[in-house]
Amino acid sequence: MNNLIHPEAHSKVLPAKKLVVLLHGVGSNGHDLIKLAPYIKDDLSDCYFMAPHGVEPYDMAPHGRQWFSLQDRTLYVMKRLLGSNIASVTDIIKQKQIALNLSNKETIIIGFSQGAMMGLYLTLIQTEPFLSTIGFSGLLVAPPQCINTTTPICLIHGVLDNIVTVDAIDHAIQYLSNHKVPCSAHKLENLAHSIDYRGLEIAVNAIKNSSLKQ
């Protein structure tokens, strides 16, 4: 992993006041998700965008990256693999935070699909809360203990998603509500396993609202 350069996009305001970490889906890589930056960076002009590559090579195809293996999708196996790889993801984020002189309270996590799974897990185990977390088309795999109940979490999911079905958002909201984590859920009609302009607008507004409450 050390020889992989993580795609980045600069903010209009330098030095950046916030860090946005974009976590891609399984079998993809950071180059894919950094393409979102041009669509939202004008609205988040004080942010620095980073889209790290998954910490492992994709194990079901010759190309791509993954945050953890999905060959066995039973819940306890995914939870174990997430927990095993969380330190590597944390280290990537910490290195960039140090470089930008920022901390978790100025960091925003945006994840898609498996990246949302990693982002949600990562958020819930933080001792210092992130500013905001956005999960697109993801599944909540809860950590052994919910430590962070402060970071606002916004979940966005397409109703037509046949990869991670939209009912995943209901299970996530139930867990987050039970643990008194501030959360919002948005089910988008006529959207499959993807991110569209509606989702990006919701995400930007959620991030702006979190920033106003700082």
Q: How far apart are CA 91 and CA 85, in angstroms?
A: 10
The reply to whether omega before 52 is within 30° of 0 (cis) is no
Q: Cβ atoms within 10 A of the Cβ of 206, count?
A: 22
Residue 56's closest CA among 22, 34, 24, 32? 24
| Segment (H or E) for 81 | helix 75-100
Packed helices 114-124 and 75-100: angle between N→C axes, nearest 10 degrees: 70
Going from the C-alpha of 29 to that of each of 41, 69, 105, 141, the distances in angstroms are: 20, 14, 26, 21
d(CA 147, CA 41): 30
Which residue in the list 24, 28, 32, 113 is annotated as catalytic? Answer: 113
DSSP state of 35: G
The one catalytic residue in 6, 32, 132, 161 is: 161
Whole-angstrom distance, CA of residue 81 vs CA of residue 202: 30
Active-site position among 69, 103, 193, 194: 193
Taking the CB of residue 163, how many other CB atoms lie within 10 A of it? Answer: 13
Look up 113 and say whether it is catalytic. yes
Our CA angle for 138, 120, 46, nearest 5°, is 100
Active-site residue list: 113, 161, 193
